């Protein structure tokens, strides 16, 4: 990679980073002259725009609360087709709409002859700057969508996976008052597994409130919220009695020793979330966790996620597939991998009021993949 | 997998194990009524036949000599298309044409709705019986060929690889008399790297004979032929001075301790060959070798090989892609992965006189992938 390539400003990406357009005004309006010129080209052309997701409920986890989630929506046009991608930017990941747009402006896809060159393109994109994993994932998702559309196949099919083997997805209930937790539990009726965010002093109240309404299996995510390993272990034993089936990231992400101690003693699988971002993070975690939570926005997208699945399996690690608050674009992309994993937590699109994509569905609690090409998402 | 499934005899596979047909008489003669009925079905149908490869030269490695190599050629028909596969059976692997045909008779593909279900189908095939890796590879190759043909894409493209990034392939020179080694070295003119089989007391003569003719880089394969680690290390230092760039399997395959000792001290990469067969063999070798030699016939085919590449990379192991004596069917299949690896030794089709497939070429020493769909091989 030459530095001149890295510094090249993507001329087609003209939107200023602060602009917010309405969903229906996406750049790729089919009737526009610009669009037809752009999409009929055998060069790839990248466009993107910020978009703010409105959450149905204020979302609280161990460390903070929020009511919206910023995302950046991406399109890559090639040979009359358009691939969709998305970067989701919860604040704790350290990316913003501005940082994503700044990153995307540096991406020059015109140097590559085809979207099929995934290994080369994504290696180039990854080398543009460190981190920026959500921005990188937005490119990865749009390229996979294009590859699927060119071949006329869904991504799960190109990966050799059986769409009937999707797992159920959990539906997340954040930290909240007893009344809201009760209300959310009732709203979660269509879902067969609930994921509960814990890590504050209300943990027992939360679980007991849910248990007063339903006996569905629960995933518990502590988001590094527990500080004492013996206390964490005691809680985990209690949680098992409450019908919890796994615990995510009980303690600080760098404290592998405590996690190894817990994993050795825990009656439930201990899953790394904040402790694992990318492929190279997996090997050091072996022994400290029972499994890992893979999220496209952490790991730069589908290609690296697929590699992580192979490496996790080789190390006998269980695999959870998670998400951020995202539209049905990024959720549908992640769902393509779901027949290959153990537990899915792909509810990000179910928690928002202004999803601008139609994609993967949840039917009887289970992820339902469609026959649509690519990531299986269309614009609403 | 139920045992009744495993025991199910593939009714379509009617050829007796001992039959040898001429290349042009492959079952899939397009004009036959049986063929058209078979290939227009949306069920997969498997046929196979033994075939004997004639070697251009008697082939000698550390442990034995041979003049022919038995293979079994496989076809899977589906929806008007035919996928080609091959099992190559050098005697040291322990499979024979009879064992392969016996295995293939147990494979019931009619229970699967499409060749795209690679994960399910290959998991089922793998569970039919232990070992039988070449038989399993023949199914994997034919299925990948079908998937490529259905989508109209070469496998390398579906894997996101750049066909321009193929490596050179080495051309193998077996253990032989000085005259024959000289003749073979001259015949190897089109190839830019030579692979030399060593491990007998003629090692130095061999290298010096080749060096009297050419200064091309050399790979050295000891096939477990060296018995003393200090002697092996001394040889490796001498080989480095002779322009050798890597050494394969210097000592006994189970002797990881000696290999770790050698790898720590060796000025050349030490590559596991006999020590590594499948995905699960990789993790225990980390630290004992610098890299691994992946061969489709050892590892059950392209899907597992691709997983092995990811796991090897995650462990910072170098990757060599090797072969048996094979037709251009299995060699073209392996070549699809070659843009993702470090060293290729894909010359099995160059060493035989009756190759019944046309496929991947070597141009200026480098593997040249084509635009053909699937594995890129057609019948001659």
A278 and chain B in contact, CB less than 8 A: no
Best of A310, A317, A338, A373 to substitute, by most chain B Cβ atoms within 10 angstroms, is A310
pLDDT at B221: 96
What pLDDT score does A294 carry? 98
Residues A189, A330 within the same domain: yes
pLDDT, tens digit, 9 for 90 and up, residues B248-301? 999 999 999 999 999 999 999 999 999 999 999 999 999 999 999 999 999 999
Count of pairs with CB atoms under 8 A, one residue in A, one in B? 66
- Residue with more model confidence, A24 or A96: A96
- Closest approach of B36 to chain A, Cα-based (Å): 26
Chain A residue numbers with beta carbons less than 8 Å from the beta carbon of B284 are: none
Query: Chain A contact for B315, CB < 8 A?
Result: yes
Q: What is the largest CA-CA distance in chain B?
A: 65
Cβ separation B119–A161 shorter than 8 A: yes
**Position A8 pLDDT exceeds 60:** no
pLDDT of residue B63: 66
Query: What's the farthest any 2 CA atoms get from each other in chain A?
Result: 65
Number of structural domains chain B divides into: 2
Q: Quick check: A160 and B315 CB within 8 A?
A: no
Q: In this structure, are A181 and A144 located in the same domain?
A: no
Identity of the residue in B117, B158, B283 whose CB atom sits nearest the CB atom of A158: B158
Mean pLDDT of B299-304: 98
Cα(A268)–Cα(A258) distance, integer angstroms: 15
Taking residues B49-73, report their average pLDDT.
Answer: 86
Query: Which among A151, A165, A311 has the least Cβ separation from residue B153?
Result: A151
| Confidence band for A267, pLDDT divided at 50, 70 and 90 | very high
In terms of domains, do A167 and A268 share one? yes
Within 8 A of A160 by CB-CB distance, chain B residues are: 116-119, 147, 303
**B38-58: average pLDDT:** 85
* Of A36 and B247, the one with more pLDDT: B247
Q: Does A287 touch chain B (CB under 8 A)?
A: no
Chain B residues whose beta carbon lies within 8 Å of the beta carbon of residue A311: 310-311, 314
- Comparing C-alpha atoms, which of A48, A49, A43 is closest to residue A20? A49
β pairing state of B378-379 and B170-173:
unpaired
CB-based contact, A307 to chain B, within 8 Å: yes
Residue range B140-165, pLDDT digits in tens: 999 999 999 999 999 999 999 999 99
Whether the Cβ atoms of residue B324 and residue B295 lie closer than 8 Å to each other: yes
Whether residue B198 is predicted with pLDDT greater than 60 in this model: the reply is yes
Contacts of A194 (CB under 8 A, 6+ apart): A170, A171, A172, A173, A185, A188, A210, A214, A216, A217, A218, A219
Of B151, B310, B339, the CB nearest to A311: B310
Domain co-membership, A146 together with A179? no
Instruction: Specify the CATH number for the domain of residue B22.
Output: 3.30.390.10
Whether the pLDDT of residue B19 is over 60: the answer is no
Residue of B nearest to A310 (CA): B307
Quote the pLDDT of residue B65.
76
Query: Considering CB atoms only, which of B151, B160, B280 is closest to A303?
Result: B160
Q: What is the pLDDT of residues B82-110, one digit of tens each?
A: 999 999 998 888 999 999 999 999 999 99
- Does B303 contact chain A (CB < 8 Å)? yes
Q: CATH number of the domain at B270, please.
A: 3.20.20.120
- Across chain A, mean pLDDT equals 89
- Residue B201: the pLDDT is 84
Least confident of A39-53, A216-230, B203-217: A39-53
A314–B282 C-beta distance less than 8 A: yes
Same domain, B92 and B187: no
Range of the domain at B101: 2-152
Q: pLDDT tens, A277-290?
A: 999 999 999 999 99
Residue predicted with more confidence, A57 or A232: A232
Chain A closest CA to B247's CA: distance in Å? 26
How far, in Å, CA of B46 to CA of B139, rounded? Answer: 9
Verify that B126 and B252 share a domain, yes or no: no
- Boundary (domain end) residue, out of A106, A125, A152: A152
Cβ separation A162–B310 shorter than 8 A: no
Q: Please list every residue in chain A whose beta carbon sits closer than 8 Å to the beta carbon of residue B303.
A: 160
Q: How far is B146 from chain A (nearest CA, A)?
A: 12
Cβ B188 vs Cβ B56: under 8 Å: no
Looking at the complex, does the CB of residue A196 fall below 8 Å from at least one CB of chain B? no
User: Which residues of chain A have a CB within 8 Å of the CB of B117?
Assistant: 160-162
**B37 and B61 assigned to the same domain:** yes
- Contact: A282, B314; criterion CB under 8 Å: yes
Q: Which of A29-38, A223-232, B56-65 has the highest mean pLDDT?
A: A223-232
For residue A282, the chain B residues in CB contact (below 8 A) are: 314
Residues of A in contact with B120 (CB under 8 A): 162, 165
Q: What is the 3-state secondary structure (H, E, C) of B291-304?
A: EEEEEHHHHCCHHH
Interface touch A160/B119, C-beta < 8 Å:
yes
Tens digit of each residue's pLDDT (9 = 90 or more) over B162-181: 999 999 999 998 888 899 99
Note whether B278 contacts A: Cβ–Cβ < 8 A. no
Interface of B with A in 332-371 (CB under 8 A): 339-340
> Does pLDDT of B25 surpass 70?
no
pLDDT tier at A57, thresholds 50, 70, 90: confident
What is the CB-side half-sphere exposure of residue B187 using CA atoms within 13 A? Answer: 13
Pick from A157, A310, A340: CB nearest B311: A310
- Is A119 in Cβ contact with B340 (below 8 Å)? yes
A315·B283 Cβ contact <8 A:
yes
Q: At B349, give phi and psi (nearest 5°).
A: -75, -15
Chain B contact present for A151, CB below 8 A:
yes
Among B114, B132, B152, identify where a domain stops: B152
* Shared-domain flag, residues A231 and A106: no
pTM: 0.89
pLDDT at residue B41 in the model: 61
Least confident of A57-61, A176-180, A268-272, A359-363: A57-61
One domain, residues A97 and A245: no
pLDDT of residue B7: 34
Taking an 8 Å cut-off on Cβ atoms, the answer to whether A157 and B116 are in contact is yes
Q: Would you say residue A31 has pLDDT above 80? A: no
Please return the burial class of B125, using the count of CB atoms within 10 Å of its CB with bins 0-12, 13-18 and 19+: buried
Residue B172 and residue B345 in contact, taking contact as beta carbons nearer than 8 Å: yes
Non-local CB neighbours of A112 within 8 Å, separated by 6+ positions: A44, A120, A121, A124
pLDDT of residue A201: 85
Mean of all residue pLDDT scores within chain B: 89
Share of chain A above pLDDT 70, in %: 88
Q: Write down the pLDDT at residue A41.
A: 61
> Looking at the predicted structure, is the pLDDT value of residue A116 above 80?
yes
Q: How far does the CA of residue A301 sit from the closest CA of chain B (Å)?
A: 14
Q: Do B314 and A280 touch (CB under 8 A)?
A: yes
> Does one domain contain both B139 and B75?
yes
B134 with B162, same domain: the answer is: no
Q: Is B160 on the interface with A (CB under 8 A)?
A: yes
Same domain, B208 and B290: yes
Is there a contact between A119 and B152 if contact means CB atoms under 8 Å apart? no
In the listed set A152, A176, A193, which residue is the last one of a domain according to the structure? A152
Nearest CB among B120, B157, B307 relative to A310 is that of B307
Residue in B with minimal Cα distance to A155: B158
Contact B315 A283 (CB under 8 A): yes
């Amino acid at each position: 990679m030459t530095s001149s390539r890295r510094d090249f400003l993507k001329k087609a990406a003209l939107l200023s980073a602060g602009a917010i357009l309405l969903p229906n005004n996406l750049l790729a309006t089919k009737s526009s002259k610009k669009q037809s010129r752009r999409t009929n080209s055998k060069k790839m052309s990248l466009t993107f725009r910020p978009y703010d997701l409105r959450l149905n409920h204020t979302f609280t986890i161990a460390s903070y609360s929020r009511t919206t989630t910023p995302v950046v929506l991406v399109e890559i046009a090639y040979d009359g087709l358009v691939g969709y991608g998305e970067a989701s930017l919860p604040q704790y990941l350290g990316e913003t709409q501005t940082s994503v747009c700044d990153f995307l402006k540096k991406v020059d896809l015109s140097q590559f002859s085809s979207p099929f060159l995934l290994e080369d393109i994504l290696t180039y994109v990854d080398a543009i700057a460190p981190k920026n994993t959500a921005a990188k994932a937005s490119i990865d998702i749009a390229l996979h969508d294009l590859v699927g559309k060119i071949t006329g196949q869904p991504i799960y099919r190109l990966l050799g996976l059986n769409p009937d083997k999707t797992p159920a997805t959990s539906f997340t209930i954040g930290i909240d008052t007893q009344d809201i937790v009760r209300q959310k539990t009732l709203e979660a009726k269509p879902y067969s597994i609930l994921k509960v965010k814990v890590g504050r002093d209300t943990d027992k109240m939360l679980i007991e409130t849910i248990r007063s309404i339903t006996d569905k299996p629960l995933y518990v995510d502590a988001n590094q919220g527990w500080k004492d390993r013996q206390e964490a272990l005691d809680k985990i034993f209690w949680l098992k009695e409450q019908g919890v089936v796994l615990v995510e990231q009980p303690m600080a992400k760098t404290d592998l020793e405590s996690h190894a101690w817990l994993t050795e003693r825990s009656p439930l699988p201990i899953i790394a979330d904040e402790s694992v971002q990318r492929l190279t993070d997996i090997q050091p975690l072996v022994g400290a966790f029972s499994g890992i939570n893979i999220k496209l926005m952490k790991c730069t997208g589908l290609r690296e996620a697929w590699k992580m699945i192979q490496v996790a399996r080789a190390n006998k690690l269980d695999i959870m597939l998670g998400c951020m608050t995202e539209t049905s674009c990024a959720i549908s992309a992640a769902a393509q991998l779901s027949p290959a994993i153990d537990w899915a937590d792909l509810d990000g699109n179910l928690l928002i009021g202004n999803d601008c994509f139609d994609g993967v569905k949840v039917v009887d609690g289970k992820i339902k993949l469609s026959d649509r090409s690519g990531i299986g998402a269309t614009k609403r």
